[in-house]
Amino acid sequence: MKADKRRAILRAAERVFRDRRFHEVLLDDVAAAARVGKGTIYLYFSSKEDLFFSLVSDGFLELEARLAKVAATGKPVGDKLCAFGEVLTAVLRERHMMIPAIMSPEFARRRPDARAALQSHHRRLDGILAGILEEGVRAGAVRSDADIHTFTCAFVGGLHGLARRRGRDALRLPVRGLVDLLLKGAQSCRAATGRKRKKQQLQDQP
């Protein structure tokens, strides 16, 4: 029962925080959206900061679980990357007000442990993506000498760019185009490296 009430409050808080800045939201607003008294919120969360942090942190845990399922499918690496990207861009689009707020210096002063906790979430997400890319190396979809960290940064950075450029009202983000660009670029680099090596071998022949 308590867990259900907590989830209901968090769902209401997400609706309130989704389109408003952190400092614009009052706990009274969340209480009204959840149809509970303000005192009920304090039974589950010690402050607005605690509520907001729990909302974002729980969201990351849910995101990790969804992306882990994507990574565990038997689909080709390109399809996994597309699914990963579509899930992540949807979250970035829906929570475009929340993530910058919780990473801000102002929130860090109010909740000093927030940044470290979110960095831990980010590392786990990066680990899931790195696992998909390493699978791509084994399958030959990504060149064997590719720097996985660089590839991960490029992909996630591209997804952030797509989410910002298309905005919250986008019905379809061109994630497939980004995946194809990165994978084909990696393959082209590998092919170019092979041609260069072969040319050098020919030049070295007596």
Q: Say yes or no to pLDDT of 179 above 50.
A: yes
User: According to the model, what pLDDT value does residue 193 have?
Assistant: 47
User: According to the model, what pLDDT value does residue 54 have?
Assistant: 93
**Mean pLDDT computed over 152-175:** 73
Amino acid at residue number 148: I
Residue-range domains of the chain with CATH: 1-45 (1.10.10.60), 48-204 (1.10.357.10)
Q: Say yes or no to pLDDT of 189 above 70.
A: no
CA–CA–CA angle 108, 114, 118 (5° rounding): 125
With both helix axes pointing from N to C terminus, report the angle between 48-72 and 114-139 in degrees, rounded to the nearest 10: 10
SS3 of residue 21 by DSSP:
coil
* Torsions phi, psi for 96 (to 5 deg): -65, -20
Cα separation of 22 and 101, whole Å?
7
pTM score, two decimals?
0.79
Between the CA of residue 106 and those of 56, 110, 112, 173, what are the distances in Å?
Answer: 16, 7, 10, 32
User: According to the model, what pLDDT value does residue 190 have?
Assistant: 47
Cα separation of 188 and 178, whole Å?
15
Could you tell me where the beta strands, DSSP code E, fall in the chain? Answer: none
What is the chain's alpha carbon radius of gyration, rounded to the nearest angstrom?
Answer: 22
**Mean pLDDT computed over 138-148:** 85
Least confident of 29-43, 54-68, 184-198: 184-198
Asked if residue 89 lies in contact with residue 164, where contact means CB atoms within 8 angstroms, the answer is no
Round the average pLDDT of the chain to a whole number and report it: 84
